[in-house]
């Protein structure tokens, strides 16, 4: 009989939090959040050598304290008007999510994904970039589109897959696309947008423009080959790209430790490719704005790509098809130590005398009414419970410039 005494054992990472347990985040490389030392990470010149960002990749860049102050060298010192706009865009994103989640539960849409708790990442990024910088989103960055002024009705029609859908029902709900808003088509395949984004950035550099690509993926998709291909090409060709990892702790039901393996942080992976890397508080609007601005300046100056890990938390299920109570502690969302992005920016604005609870409540009501009006317009084009108005023939059109013979035969067989 062969002895297993000196053989290795397969290691399968397990989360600390499961249903019925007390939430515990001690394994997440989180600094002492109440210490002022967490706001003293240096903000180096954007053209710093990539390997000199190691402390930024292993630490946590923050601006907003948990008691509502703004501190440290990363403070972008935005105007009150800019911060109020950021707050409004985050609240708008949250209001749209709330409405469309309800619509899906009513059976009027087949699917939806909320960004609750992650709004600061998309909204601050959109505001820090130029409107012409191409964004390559994953499926939880609807705040990018909304911050760039995309018509609410058009966004909702896409979710409803009705006659008003600009994509004519060819993409599943939440897979938005807008050339006019420099918003690359969302794909249902995880991680593919990372390579596309780097290719777009390389083309900008080749043409001599100042364009920057800004891509987003979840921490789970960093285990995909596309993520590593993107980092390799970014490093080799010094592509003007910003590669964002949204670490919201859960890849559907798999906790972040599955994709992380033994790595210290997800941002740390960028260092291995010779890329500047930052790990930031993803629930801190000001920190996200500062990090994206820093990375964009570096990219435009020829410094190459930056990897940014946004340390955040997915407050609700992965999608409307998911039940998080099956795999994580019920109390975990409320126990997340970095708070809520909307509440934190609101608290800071109140502290400096640029906002108050009455104005906040009024804006919330105004946005809910605005969203409801847009939804009524979108609903008039059809829902799953009514006639959508989309001609089945359209599924064969606008896919190939010259339709292949096998598709022509299929269309003829359907009699359309």
CA atoms within 13 A on the CB side of 316: 16
- Span 227-235, average pLDDT: 98
- Span 369-388, average pLDDT: 95
Q: Strands 276-281, 254-255: parallel, antiparallel or unpaired by DSSP?
A: unpaired
| Mean confidence (pLDDT) of the chain | 94
Q: In terms of pLDDT, which residue wins out, 29 or 298?
A: 298
pLDDT tens figures, 269-289:
999 999 999 999 999 999 999
Does the pLDDT of residue 89 top 90, yes or no?
yes
Q: How far apart are alpha carbons 304 and 299 in whole angstroms? A: 5
Model confidence band, residue 37 (pLDDT cutoffs 50, 70, 90): low
pLDDT tens figures, 117-132:
999 999 999 999 999 9
* CATH class of segment(s) 36-385: alpha beta
Does the pLDDT of residue 379 top 60, yes or no?
yes
Q: State residue 389's pLDDT score.
A: 79
- Span 257-278, average pLDDT: 92
Domain ranges of the chain: 36-385, 388-416
Model confidence band, residue 4 (pLDDT cutoffs 50, 70, 90): low
Phi, psi of 56 (to 5 degrees): -80, -25
DSSP class of 325? G
pTM across the whole model: 0.95
CA atoms within 13 A on the CB side of 238: 12
Cβ–Cβ under 8 Å, residues 142 and 174: yes
Q: What share of the chain is helix, strand, coil (3-state, %, to 5)?
A: 45, 10, 50
Does the pLDDT of residue 351 top 60, yes or no?
yes
Nearest 10 degrees: Cα torsion 296, 302, 305, 306: -50
Does the pLDDT of residue 394 top 90, yes or no?
no
Model confidence band, residue 84 (pLDDT cutoffs 50, 70, 90): very high
Q: State residue 25's pLDDT score.
A: 86
pLDDT tens figures, 42-81:
999 999 999 999 999 999 999 999 999 999 999 999 999 9
- Say which residues have a Cβ less than 8 Å from residue 213's Cβ, sequence separation at least 6: 133, 134, 135, 136, 197, 198, 200, 201, 204, 239, 240, 241, 242
Residue-by-residue DSSP string for 31-65:
--TTSGGGG------TTS-GGGGHHHHHS-B--B-
Q: How far apart are alpha carbons 217 and 208 in whole angstroms? A: 27
């Amino acid at each position: 009989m062969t002895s297993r005494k000196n053989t290795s054992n397969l290691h399968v990472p397990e989360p600390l939090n499961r249903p019925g347990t007390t939430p515990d985040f001690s394994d997440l490389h989180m600094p002492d959040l109440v210490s002022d030392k967490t706001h003293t990470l240096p903000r180096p010149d954007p053209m710093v050598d990539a390997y000199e960002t190691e402390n930024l990749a292993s630490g946590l860049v923050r601006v907003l304290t948990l008691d509502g102050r703004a501190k440290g060298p990363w403070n972008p010192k935005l105007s009150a008007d800019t911060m109020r706009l950021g707050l409004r865009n985050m609240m708008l994103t949250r209001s749209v999510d709330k409405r469309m989640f309800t619509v899906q539960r009513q059976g009027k849409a087949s699917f939806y994904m909320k960004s609750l708790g992650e709004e600061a990442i998309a909204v601050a990024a959109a505001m820090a970039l130029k409107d012409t910088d191409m964004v390559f989103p994953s499926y939880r960055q609807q705040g990018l589109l909304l911050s760039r002024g995309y018509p609410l009705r058009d966004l909702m029609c896409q979710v409803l897959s009705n006659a008003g859908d600009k994509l004519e029902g060819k993409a599943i709900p939440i897979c938005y696309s807008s050339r006019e808003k420099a918003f690359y088509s969302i794909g249902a395949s995880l991680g593919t947008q990372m390579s596309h984004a780097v290719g777009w950035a390389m083309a900008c550099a080749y043409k001599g423009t100042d364009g920057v690509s800004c891509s987003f993926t979840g921490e789970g998709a960093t285990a995909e080959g596309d993520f590593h291909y993107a980092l390799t090409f970014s490093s080799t060709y010094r592509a003007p790209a910003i590669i964002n990892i949204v670490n919201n702790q859960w890849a559907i039901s798999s906790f972040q430790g599955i994709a992380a393996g033994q790595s210290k942080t997800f941002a740390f992976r960028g260092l291995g490719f010779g890329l500047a890397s930052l790990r930031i508080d993803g629930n801190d609007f000001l920190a996200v704005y500062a990090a994206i601005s820093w990375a964009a300046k570096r990219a435009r100056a020829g410094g190459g790509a930056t990897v940014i890990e946004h340390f955040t938390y997915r407050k609700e299920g992965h999608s409307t098809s998911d039940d998080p109570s099956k795999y994580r502690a019920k109390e975990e969302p409320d126990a997340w130590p970095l708070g809520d992005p909307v509440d934190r920016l609101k608290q800071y604005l109140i502290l400096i005398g640029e906002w108050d609870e009455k104005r906040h409540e009024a804006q919330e009501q105004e946005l809910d009414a605005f969203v409801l009006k847009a939804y009524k317009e979108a609903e008039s084009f059809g829902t799953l419970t009514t006639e959508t108005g989309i001609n089945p023939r359209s599924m064969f059109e606008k896919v190939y410039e010259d339709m292949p013979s096998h598709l022509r035969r299929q269309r003829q067989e359907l009699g359309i």
